[in-house]
Each structure stands twice: as structure tokens, then as C-alpha cells.
Chain A
Amino acid sequence: MKTTGFGNKVFDTVNFTLVLLLCLMIVLPFWYMFVLSVSDPFKVGMKEVALIPQGVNFKSYMAVLQENQIVNAYWNSIRYTVVGTFMVIVVACLTAYPLALQRFGSRKAITILFTITMFFSGGMIPTFMLIRGLGMLDTIWAVTLPAVFGFWNIIILRTNFQSLPRELFESAYMDGANDWRILFQIVIPLSGPILATLTLFASVGFWNAFFAPLLYLTSPEMHPLTIILRRVLVANEVLSSEAINSANSLVMDPIADAGRTTSIRMATVFVTIGPIVLIYPFVQRYFVKGILVGSVKG
């Protein structure tokens, strides 16, 4: 379409500027926190630091990565995310495949059974009682297993399986290949992008999960990063490394101490969102496609 002419130029410029401003509003808070995390604690304490880093150093990151609680929480977040995401993908593949096949007699009944769960839930307390009754409190299963059985992922994957050329796996079936081979050797290899999308969504979900860990994990050594972050960022708890840091500084300097605390908190934030921000640019071209597939039939 032609977009020449003075009016169009003005429109384009104004339009571009407004969206640019919005994007700046999104990026600047992150940038500000990053600047605080790498700046000289004294300058941070004096509130002289805003958008330009001053006295760049990575001591806060060193302090965070030497903090046992955070290292432990990091490990917990990683294992919850990996185990949870793996189970989500396996269950979604195994469930979406039968539901995508016309010849599967119980297809309708099971679809209805699973769809109902999208609209009705027992709620917080009955689910808590169940997890407790199963003896899963304070285990990795409490924060991973319940999230595995969501119908949304399965619908997205089923829709995708149905859109594959039918002849491909029906001819394999006629040739005597069993369903396991068809699923693992034909259907799954053809579903790369959608599986990448589901993996991204699931892993971000587990990584950012707060509600389930808050409810089901009682002992501190099981806590993931999000729970530690609440204590540090929102409840203003002081980590032991911050205390050690200020004890080690030779001169008592309340301003630098305050700055150091802020710096370390901001470093904790970036250590937490780091993995997401780092892999985000590489996977984001997949997920737009993914969410659209889901919305077509959802």
C-alpha cells in the first residue's frame, strides 16, 4: 500500500514515536535496576545513580552468587523447571496423540472429561488438602505434578497434530507401525516449533511460579528463587551476605551500606530473570505462532 504524502509521513512519525515511548517505559525500569546493580554502592546510597552506571563493578553479583540461600534456591528453581517442563511435554504428547485420532473410540468422552476441568476447579483449600493427603507437601512433586495436567497445552498440541498431513501417519499405521513408533518417529519430529513454544511457556511458568511453592513448600531449603525474592525485595529481609559484607567493610558507612543492600537486591533480580532475558530473543519467534495455533480452536 502506498504511504506517501505529507499527512502520511506525519502519521507514521507520530505513530512510531508513541510506540517507541511505550517501549522505553517498558525497558527503562529494567535498565534502572540493572544500573543500580552494577554501580558503586556509595553513589547508589547517595541516590546519585539514575540511568548512567557509575563506578561499574560486579561485586553485588559476586556477593549474590556466594550466598548459600540463593545458590540453593537457584538449584531448586532449575530442577523444578526441568522436571516440571519435561513432564508437561511428555504428558501433552502422549495425550494429544490419541485425542487427535478419529479412530480412537473414547475421544469425545475424554475430551469432555478434560474440558470440564477448564471451567470448574476445587479451589485452593481442597487442592491443598489433596497434596497434603498424598504426602507431597515439601517435595518437588507438589510444585510440578499438579501443573502437568492442564488441558490448554494438550488442546494446542492436538490441534497441531490434526493439522499434519493425515496420510503420513495413516499409511504408516497401515504398514503395521504401532502407535508408539508413529508418535515418536513421525508426529513428534514434525512438531518442532509447537513443542518449542510449549516448552517455553511451561518452563517460564515453572520458573516464575510463586503460588504453589508458597503453599506447598514449607522448609526453607526447598524454596525456589521466587520465594527468596519475596523475602528480599518485598519483605525487606536482609540476606546473610549483605550482613557479612557490611561487617567486613573497614569503615562504618551507612550510606554505602544502604547502597550495597540496594545493589545486591537488584543483582538478585537479574540473577533470577537472567535466564529468561537471555533465551528470550532466540525463542520469541516461535511463540507468536504457538499462541495463535492455540487460539484458533481453543
Chain B
Amino acid sequence: MRRGWPHSLTKEYRLNKHLYLMILPAFIGFITFHYVPLYGIVMAFKQYDLILGFQDSPWVGFKHFASFFNDPYSVRIIRNTLLLGFYSLLFGTLPPIILALMLNEFTNQRWKRIFQSISYLPHFIAIVVIVGMMVQLLGPDGIVNTMLVSLGLEQIYFFNQAEYFRTLYVTSGVWQGVGWGSILYLAALTGIDPELYEASYMDGANRFQRIWHISIPGIMPTIVILLILNASDVINVGFEKVYLMANPAIYETGDVIQTFVYRRGIVDRNFGFATAVGLLNSVTSFMILYAANRIARMTKQNSLW
């Protein structure tokens, strides 16, 4: 069948009118919930006035952007966002790959499946529960501090000291995501031609050599693709977890762009300013994704588009 627009408009209507009816709800929904907010970005260039409303609020050009860069906190939240994202990527990339390689070496399929199921579980648990769990374990009455005290050491207030925030955020993220992250690598490993392993066995390769020379090259394209996809997360640090974990005492490390936007926009009702900051965030995020894709292309690996 030909691609594109295969027939006249009348024929298209006669043939496919039911299809248009089917897709109508999604069409309306995507326009409403995605494209209308995209248009709402013009608020970044307006001084939002509750009485005048969205349309009639006066234009202010780049005033909000300027005041963001003059804000004493702007450097701090950009630094925090990037560092948190960077550490998550740095420490979060390798563990799923290693877990997948280890599971792939299992000869007992039953245990492999059981361990896989266990390792996926935290992915399905709400962030608020994970954070609550950390508070319970690491709080003043938690098991960790109880042990520290019984060993004659001082209590540590993990959630009130800025220097622990990043470590806790990244570690708990790896804990929660390592199993789920390994799924795609495991699938890629299953796709490797078994004859390669047979041949290496004939040549007397040991298990490590097989992993190094067959398994890892076999999943390299997957690793690159996922790195590209995750690269833009460097700036899209999850709002929920930071919001739940941080408190004003540790904003020095625990305040990121999204939580800043939330406070200035939703809490303080400074809509124009918060929209501007959010816009900077999404533009940067897209640029990182684009750049990562370009780099991947230049190295002649797979790319997204």
C-alpha cells in the first residue's frame, strides 16, 4: 500500500470516518493537556495579574529571566540540579549493567527468575514510601542511629545535614532502580547469538573472557541508547523525591530547579517568574538530549533519530 495520503478527501471520509471518531478523544486530550500548556509558556514573558487574567496581563519581555539570573539562589539550584542528576547518572548506569551480566550467567533459571522478580519490586513502590523508609531507618530513632549509639558513636541527623543529601538521594535511587534498569540489558543479552558463546568455549575462553569479549560488546548499542535517553535526566531531576527528602535546613544541597519552581509558582503564586524558570529547564533538557544524540551519532553508534 502507498504511504502518506492514499486517496481523496471524500474517499478518506467514507473509508475512515469511524477511525476519526475513535481518535477524536485523544486528539482533543493532547491538544488540551499538551499544546495549551505549551502556549501557556508565553506567561514567562508576562507579568501575571490575577484580575486582568492570562490574556490581558502586560508583557514584560525577558524581565523574569533577568531576575532569575540575578536571584541569589539561581546558581545554587542550577548547581544542585546538575550535580544530583550527574551523580545519579554516574552511579546509576553501571549497577544495572553488572546485575544483568550476573543474572545472565545464572545456570539455574528458577533462581534467576526469583531474583529478577525481587529486584524489580522497589520500582513499583511509591517514592513517598521509599523516603518514609529512609526516615525510619536513618532517623534519630532509626535502627542506624540506634546502632551508632550502641557502638558509642554520635547520632547523625541524616535529614538535617546538607552534606548527606546527595549521597542519600543517589544511593536510594540506585537501590530502587537497579533491578528495573537491568531488564533491557537482560533482553539484549538474550538476543546474543549462542553460537558466539559456543565458539569461545571451544577456544578455551573462561567466564570473564566471555563476558568481556561477547556479552559486553553485545549490549553496547543498548548501553549507548539508554545513556542518551538518560542524559537529559541530568537536569530533569525528579521533583517528588527531592521535595519529600529536603527541608529548608538543607536547601544548600537539597533545592533543585523543580522544587524552586514549585515554591515560587504554586506556593507564592509568582506564575510568570516560575514559568520562565521552568522554560529554561525544559529548553536545557532538550538541548542536552540533542547534544547527547549528536555525540552518539559522531561515534557511529546507534542514535535515537
Contact = CB atoms under 8 A, between A and B. Distances in A.
Contact of A27 (B22, B118, B183): B118
A273 B122 CA distance: 11
Contacts of B289: 119
Interface string A93-110: 011011101111110101
A266 B135 CA distance: 11
B38 A229 contact: no
Nearest to B43: A126
A124 B41 contact: no
A237 interface: no
Given A110-B27, A124-B266, A149-B34, A119 B286 contact: yes
Interface stretch (A16-24, A56-64, A243-251): A16-24
Interface size class of B (residues with CB under 8 A): 35 or more
Given A50-B143, A103-B1, A97 B22 contact: yes
Contacts of B116: 288
Contacts of A122: 34, 36-41
A2 B201 contact: yes
A26 B99 contact: no
B19 A123 contact: no
Contacts of B128: 208, 210, 226, 229-230, 233-234
A198 to B, nearest CB: 15
B127 A104 contact: no
A23 B126 contact: no
Contacts of A252: none
Contacts of B15: 103
A233 B239 CA distance: 18
Interface in A115-171: 117, 119-130, 133-134, 145-146, 148-149, 151, 154
A284 B120 contact: yes
B40 A1 contact: no
Contact of B271 (A3, A120, A129, A183): A129
Nearest to A127: B37
A94 B29 CA distance: 13
Contact of A272 (B22, B29, B126, B179): B126
Contacts of A130: 32-33, 36-37, 40
Interface string B270-286: 01001100110110001
Contacts of A265: 132, 136
A273 B27 contact: no
B148 interface: no
Contact of B279 (A7, A30, A101, A123): A123
Contacts of A119: 286, 289
B6 A105 contact: yes
B116 to A, nearest CB: 8
A65 interface: no
A208 B125 contact: yes
A219 interface: no
9 contacts: A124-B266, A124-B278, A129-B37, A149-B34, A207-B126, A234-B128, A276-B125, A280-B124, A295-B184
